[in-house]
Amino acid sequence: MRVALDRVGSLVAVLALVAFPLTACAPFSTACSAVGYVSAITITFSPDRISTLDPASLQYRSCQDGACQEGHLPLSPQLVAPPISPSAASHPAMPSPGAVPQTFAIVNPPTLTTSPVDLTVWGKTTDGQPVGPLHATITPKVDYPDGPYCGQRITGGVRWDLAGLHVPVPQEPSG
């Protein structure tokens, strides 16, 4: 009987050591869906624009707080659909029925802050015609996709379509 109590005591001690750090990090229980959020500027391409561009020619220059960087814009496809609920909005990587392909590029300044970012993009069409330079000023925003106890990310974005480079107008939450 003493052996069984020793094992129960050891088990309780181990559980207490594991549970204490988990509960000490936040005032209440929080489930975080991601670790190490990426802070970045996203360039989203309209389907009619991306179909006319030569991906190998796309370049950018971003400047924030006097520090500039430039380089090639590597493209990435992503399935996107309008968010159906607040939880769907915080997990955009989860494709939903009816999702459509969207092409984007990510500009990763060394240290992204909430100061304005001056972004210039340029390239060539598939038939060799120059496009740009196109310019936009982005004011990155801080958000907490899983709440303030799960870390923050700083993001901003533009849309590149046939008419040029556009900073989206923030949409007010409905409700």
Question: If you average pLDDT over every residue of the chain, what do you get?
Answer: 74
Residue 4: inside a domain, yes or no?
A: no
Domain count, the chain: 1
The per-residue pLDDT for range 145-162, each reduced to its tens digit, is 777 777 778 888 999 999
**Rounded-to-integer distance, Cα 63 and Cα 136, Å:** 11
pLDDT at position 42 over 60: yes
Q: How confident is the model at residue 124 (pLDDT cuts 50, 70, 90)?
A: very high
Higher pLDDT residue, 152 or 167? 167
pTM for the full predicted model? 0.65
Residue 115: inside a domain, yes or no?
A: yes
Give the pLDDT confidence score for residue 163 in this predicted structure.
Answer: 92
Residue 139: inside a domain, yes or no?
A: yes
Contact yes or no for 107/40 (Cβ under 8 A): yes
Residue 12: inside a domain, yes or no?
A: no
Residue 96: inside a domain, yes or no?
A: yes
Residue 11: inside a domain, yes or no?
A: no
Which residue range is the domain that position 93 belongs to? 29-166
Residue 43: inside a domain, yes or no?
A: yes
